[in-house]
A and B are shown apart, each in its own frame.
Chain A
């Protein structure tokens, strides 16, 4: 595990630079769209992996927080006229608060393994059904549309895609920096993931750290949901609280390497463009084919390369490390 102790600051800065510079090339809007999706899913998946990868608590219900973030951003903008930029933060906090309400009883009662996963799925279903049911409030199964607003960073409404791209890239960089700063916290999460009883016996407050991981994870996913609706301008309960959404966050992380920092990015860089390509070419006649491929890929990866693509990189790196050393 320690073989790849890169100083992360350098790669992060590099990615930041490359990321910010990309739009200098005038890329067609569709490529920009794919880039935005790549970063967005890398971001969501990275946020998920704080709980699912680092802490080892497999949540298949992170859509709960995604949808909460999206709808919160909508309500704050449309009902209270609040600026979407700050709504990002508030949405994140709302999602985080919800996660405490859900998570505290879960962890306090020692819900582990499959029981925890089942609970996360059930929570998402509850949210989905609630939002469909309360249609006067939430628009029901038809969903909601963000209104047209004056362009600008405050309203997070832009006609061109470049600005949206910068926003999501910035969010992702912020997330990466924060994760990188949480060194000791991540060590505790690793311990918890490996063995909770042993962790307790060496003085780690397992419940507290799981809860913290959940709060941070859900915060960022909530912000992601708010971003989603600001960019796509539309959401409905099936997307907001769909199993597909949760699974996509998970899949990308696992494919790329869920215990690694770069895994989700690698996973998204590979999978998202493939998914989009499938959606455009086959999507008309074969709706859902990209999800089918995703599902198959996930099965294959779990079976043959459970540590994800990143593990290939890691073994190549250590081979060269051994050779060069």
Chain B
């Protein structure tokens, strides 16, 4: 039984199918990459899993429990955390306060929060206002916030976007550390380098349909995948 099972998920916006009959598993402990050209439905998939969208058909099962259509706060309580494509935070609060509130709702202790701050590398910025952070620091905060609620599964939505290569590498290290601490991760990405570096497995979406699945090296060489990306630059 996989940690998360998506079965025949479909989501329509007006006349357009953003997701069509998508099925995939996320296995306990792995880092799964979800890639595909722009508009492939990757973020829609995340939003359906985390309750921001209600799928038109299909289901999402997490730890053997059907979570399809549950509201986002419930899904967070059940153990799935997510980051946002455009980083969001409680801007007028300090980093520590941002995390303390997250800890409150989960019962995480202050010590555990401080550990998380260390894990993501934000120690020096504990008492800084969230609004004063750099992009990289904001992303660290997003990761920290997700961790504080002690998730089993963490969904990262294009978390490398907007980062310079060395910044992305730093953040990747944090992601790997998070995974080692026992959190399963699914990561939506554009950047091939990231995918090749961290993912055990990759799923490829195109126009809302799954077109390929497997270890990164295989998927990259898959004809269908190359065709889907034709005309797009690989950042290999």
Q: Bound pair: A and B?
A: yes
Residues of A that sit less than 8 Å from B by CB = 1-2, 184, 187-188, 190-191, 194-195, 197-206
Q: Does B57 contact A (CB under 8 A)?
A: no
Which residues of B lie under 8 Å from residue A194 when comparing CB positions?
Answer: 90-93
Which residues of B lie under 8 Å from residue A205 when comparing CB positions?
Answer: 71, 73-74
Query: Given B71, B91, B93, B101, which contacts A202 in the complex, CB threshold below 8 Å?
Result: B101
Residues of B that sit less than 8 Å from A by CB = 50, 71-74, 76-77, 81-82, 84, 88-94, 97, 100-102, 104-106, 145-146, 148-149
Given A200-B73, A202-B145: A195 touches B97 (CB 8 Å cut-off): no
Determine if A188 and B81 form an interchain contact, defined as CB atoms under 8 angstroms apart.
Answer: no
Which residues of B lie under 8 Å from residue A202 when comparing CB positions?
Answer: 76, 81, 101-102, 105-106, 145, 148-149
Which residues of A lie under 8 Å from residue B106 when comparing CB positions?
Answer: 202-203
Determine if A206 and B90 form an interchain contact, defined as CB atoms under 8 angstroms apart.
Answer: no
Determine if A204 and B105 form an interchain contact, defined as CB atoms under 8 angstroms apart.
Answer: yes
A1 and B94 alpha carbons, distance in the complex (Å): 8
Determine if B73 and A195 form an interchain contact, defined as CB atoms under 8 angstroms apart.
Answer: no
B67 to chain A, nearest CB (A): 14
Which residues of A lie under 8 Å from residue B76 when comparing CB positions?
Answer: 200-203
A268 to chain B, nearest CB (A): 25
A4 to chain B, nearest CB (A): 14
A206 and B82 alpha carbons, distance in the complex (Å): 17
Provide 8 A-B residue pairs closer than 8 Å at the C-beta atoms, listed in order of the A residue: A188-B101, A190-B101, A195-B90, A198-B84, A198-B90, A201-B81, A202-B145, A204-B73
Given A194-B91, A195-B88: A203 touches B97 (CB 8 Å cut-off): no
Given A1-B94, A205-B73: A191 touches B88 (CB 8 Å cut-off): no
A196 to chain B, nearest CB (A): 10
Determine if B94 and A2 form an interchain contact, defined as CB atoms under 8 angstroms apart.
Answer: yes
A162 and B50 alpha carbons, distance in the complex (Å): 58
Residue of A whose beta carbon sits closest to that of B80:
A201
Residue of B whose beta carbon sits closest to that of A198:
B88
Known: A1-B94, A197-B84, A201-B73. 10 other contacts (CB 8 A): A1-B97, A187-B100, A187-B104, A188-B101, A195-B90, A197-B88, A201-B72, A201-B145, A204-B105, A205-B74
Which residues of B lie under 8 Å from residue A191 when comparing CB positions?
Answer: 90, 101
A195 and B92 alpha carbons, distance in the complex (Å): 10
Determine if B94 and A203 form an interchain contact, defined as CB atoms under 8 angstroms apart.
Answer: no
Determine if B89 and A198 form an interchain contact, defined as CB atoms under 8 angstroms apart.
Answer: yes
Residue of A whose beta carbon sits closest to that of B103:
A202
A199 and B77 alpha carbons, distance in the complex (Å): 11
Determine if B104 and A188 form an interchain contact, defined as CB atoms under 8 angstroms apart.
Answer: yes
B126 to chain A, nearest CB (A): 12
Which residues of B lie under 8 Å from residue A188 when comparing CB positions?
Answer: 101, 104-105
Q: Which of B72, B92, B148 has the most CB of A within 10 A?
A: B72
List the 3 closest pairs (A to B, CB-CB), nearest first.
A194-B90, A203-B76, A200-B72
Query: Given B73, B81, B93, B148, which contacts A206 in the complex, CB threshold below 8 Å?
Result: B73
B49 to chain A, nearest CB (A): 12
